[in-house]
């Protein structure tokens, strides 16, 4: 069996600790990983037990941070007193005594903690020793063995491989040396605003809701009209092609049709927001940031995250020539479709999107803890290089002279992060959503008045 345990988060609390121990009992010996090791029986008051536990701790401590962070938030765990066959338990000892026994082998390394987890078994209560080794960090020194044990000399460097802890090979020694060197390297970048404002405009939520409510009411009238149409068609079945369609009746229930309409209107609302963002982009000044490396080091995969007040809406600035792909309305309710024709796109899974899909390299925009967070695609930076980040259209209905944002930047090949504030000026725009939609569809006021006069 495989280890059935969610290792996305650190193991915190008695319930999670017991869950991990039970998962080991249902696993196999092949399931030991880079973040988890277990031993059936050891007494840390004995030299063999203290060495075995210390060896595992050192192996976990001598991992690379980018590898360790893939599981349990970078933490690693040693369980003593359990294996895939049974829960055996171990003798319990005072914390101070255990630390002194382990220190003989660990030296000054102290970034671990342990506890005894009580477990109920058929033979009574047993205590499993759980050792939690903290995540390794860039800048950490290599942690060697400090006391000889059998064939292992002081200075031996243990490394945790997949399923086993062994003396480190040359490749791991080089990697750990690089880990230690990174202590002197910190991410050193600057982010400045080249151009940009937060457009301040009248709220659009009510206007969008009015439009979608009108569309919903108009489309849902089809449900009420469907029965009358069926009766009329039944009296003269083969009069025309539209009557012929009733040979294949609509298979959707009113509720299913309503769900289609709701989904369509959701896409329509997204398309309206996309259209508004284009109008703001054309009339306002999209935000363009410049990322600069003022130092002498190559910086790999520098990621900039910009955090704005939650009252600010952000969109990736679209090309001014790009057209919004408006979604298609659901097929008219009550009218069946002939097999092999109108139903073919649905069978193929073809559906018009609400708007143009963005490149995977486009910035990611989301709401997070009441803030609008923009995560730009990572870029590599050479010494003294400056790169313009993708422009972003930002707007708000909140009146303000400026909006205070915060940016932070990290890189994969150096430690730490840079975090600073950035004030973005406001720009008042007299922009109406209805006018923007009319212009997009080529409708002017004169044409609207003519239509009204003809009616």
What is the pLDDT, as a whole number, of residue 29? 72
Up-side HSE of residue 369: CA atoms within 13 Å toward CB?
Answer: 3
Question: Does residue 348 register a pLDDT over 60?
Answer: no
Domain co-membership, 119 together with 257: no
Tell me which H or E stretch contains 99.
helix 95-106
pLDDT at 358: 47
372 is a domain residue: yes
Assess whether 163 and 247 both reside in one domain: no
Looking at 133, 168, 184, the residue that finishes a domain is: 184
Indicate whether 356 pLDDT > 80.
no
Name the band, by pLDDT with cuts 50, 70 and 90, for residue 230.
Answer: low
- Decide which of 125, 160, 184 is a domain's last residue: 184
pLDDT at position 120 over 60? yes
pLDDT at 406 over 80: yes
Percent of the chain with pLDDT over 70: 83
- Least confident span in 44-53, 179-188, 423-432: 179-188
Q: What average pLDDT does this structure show over 219-241? A: 65
Please say if the pLDDT value at position 333 is more than 50: yes
> Using 50, 70 and 90 to split pLDDT, how confident is the model at 354?
very low
For residue 320, give the DSSP letter.
Answer: T
- Euclidean distance between CA atoms 56 and 49, whole angstroms: 11
Query: Model's pTM, two decimal places?
Result: 0.54
| Distance in angstroms (rounded) separating the CA atoms of residues 55 and 189 | 40
Nearest Cα residue to 115 out of 6, 20, 26, 8: 20
Q: Looking at the structure, do residues 178 and 211 belong to the same domain, yes or no?
A: no
In the chain, the number of structural domains is 2
One domain, residues 217 and 166: no
Which residue range(s) make up the domain with 385? 190-443
What is the pLDDT, as a whole number, of residue 360? 52
Co-location of 276 and 349 in the same domain: yes
8 within a domain of the structure (yes/no): no
At residue 227, the pLDDT reads: 60
pLDDT at 319: 54
Q: What is the pLDDT of residue 246?
A: 52
Pair 271, 340 in one domain: yes
User: Does 154 or 250 have the greater pLDDT score?
Assistant: 154
Percent of the chain exceeding pLDDT 90 equals 54
232 lies in the same domain as 142: no
For the ranges 3-17, 249-263, 350-364, the lowest mean pLDDT is seen at 350-364
Show which of 155, 184, 213 is a domain's final residue.
Answer: 184
| Predicted pLDDT of residue 259 | 93
pLDDT band at 278 (very low <50, low <70, confident <90, very high): confident
Q: Are 209 and 268 in contact (CB under 8 A)?
A: no
Q: Is 400 left (phi over 0), alpha (psi -120 to 50) or beta?
A: beta
- 167-219 confidence digits (pLDDT tens): 999 999 999 998 888 765 678 899 999 999 999 999 888 888 998 999 999 99
Mean pLDDT of the chain: 84
pLDDT digits (tens, 9 = 90+) for 307-327: 999 999 999 986 545 777 789
**d(Cα 319, Cα 325) in Å, to the nearest integer?**
13
The Cα–Cα gap between 452 and 455 comes to 5
| Out of 22-31, 32-41, 433-442, least confident range | 433-442
Q: Is the same domain home to 362 and 285?
A: yes
**pLDDT for the residue 292:** 97
List the one residue out of 260, 261, 228 whose CA is nearest residue 246. 228
Compare 4 and 269 and report the one with higher pLDDT. Answer: 269
Q: What pLDDT sits at residue 4?
A: 82
Is 451 inside any structural domain?
no
Query: Residue 83 maps to which CATH number?
Result: 3.30.950
303 shares its domain with 329: yes
């Amino acid at each position: 069996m495989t280890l059935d345990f969610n290792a996305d988060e650190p193991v915190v609390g008695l319930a999670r600790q017991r869950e991990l121990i039970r998962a080991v009992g249902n696993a196999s010996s092949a399931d030991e990983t880079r973040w988890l090791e277990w031993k059936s029986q050891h007494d840390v008051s004995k030299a063999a037990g203290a060495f075995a536990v210390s060896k595992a701790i050192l192996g976990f401590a001598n991992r690379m941070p980018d590898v360790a962070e893939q599981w349990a938030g970078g933490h690693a765990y040693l369980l003593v007193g359990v294996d895939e066959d049974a829960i055996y338990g171990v003798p319990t000892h005072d914390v101070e005594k255990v630390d002194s026994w382990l220190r003989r082998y660990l030296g000054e390394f102290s970034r671990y903690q342990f506890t005894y987890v009580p477990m109920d078994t058929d033979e009574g209560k047993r205590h499993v020793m759980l050792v939690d080794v903290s995540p390794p960090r860039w800048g950490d020194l290599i942690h060697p063995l400090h006391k000889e044990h059998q064939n292992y000399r002081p200075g031996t460097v243990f490394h945790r491989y997949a399923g086993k802890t062994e003396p480190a090979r040359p490749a791991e020694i080089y990697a750990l040396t690089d880990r230690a060197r990174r202590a002197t390297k910190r991410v050193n970048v600057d982010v400045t605003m080249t151009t940009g404002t937060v457009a301040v405009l009248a709220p659009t939520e009510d206007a969008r809701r009015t439009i979608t409510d009108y569309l919903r009411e108009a489309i849902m009238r089809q449900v009420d009209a469907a029965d009358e149409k069926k009766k009329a068609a039944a009296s003269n079945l083969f009069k025309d092609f539209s009557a012929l369609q009733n040979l294949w009746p609509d298979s959707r229930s009113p509720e299913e049709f309503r769900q289609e309409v709701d989904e369509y209107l959701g896409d329509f609302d997204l398309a309206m927001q996309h259209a508004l963002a284009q109008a703001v982009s054309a009339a306002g000044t999209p935000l363009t940031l410049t990322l600069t490396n003022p130092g002498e080091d190559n910086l790999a995969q520098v990621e900039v995250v910009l955090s704005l007040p939650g009252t600010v809406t952000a969109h990736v600035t679209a090309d001014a020539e790009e057209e919004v792909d408006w979604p298609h309305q659901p097929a008219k309710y009550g009218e069946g479709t002939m097999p092999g024709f109108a139903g073919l796109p649905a069978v193929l899974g073809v559906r018009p999107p609400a708007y143009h899909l963005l490149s995977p390299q486009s910035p990611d925009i989301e709401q997070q803890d009441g803030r609008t967070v923009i995560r730009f695609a990572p870029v590599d930076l050479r010494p003294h290089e400056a790169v313009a980040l993708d422009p972003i259209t930002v707007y708000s209905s909140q009146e303000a002279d400026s909006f205070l944002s915060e940016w932070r930047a990290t890189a994969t090949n150096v430690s730490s992060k840079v975090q600073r504030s950035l004030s973005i000026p406001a720009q008042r725009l007299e922009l109406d959503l209805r006018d923007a939609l009319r212009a997009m569809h080529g409708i002017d006021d004169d044409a609207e008045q003519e239509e009204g006069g003809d009616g």
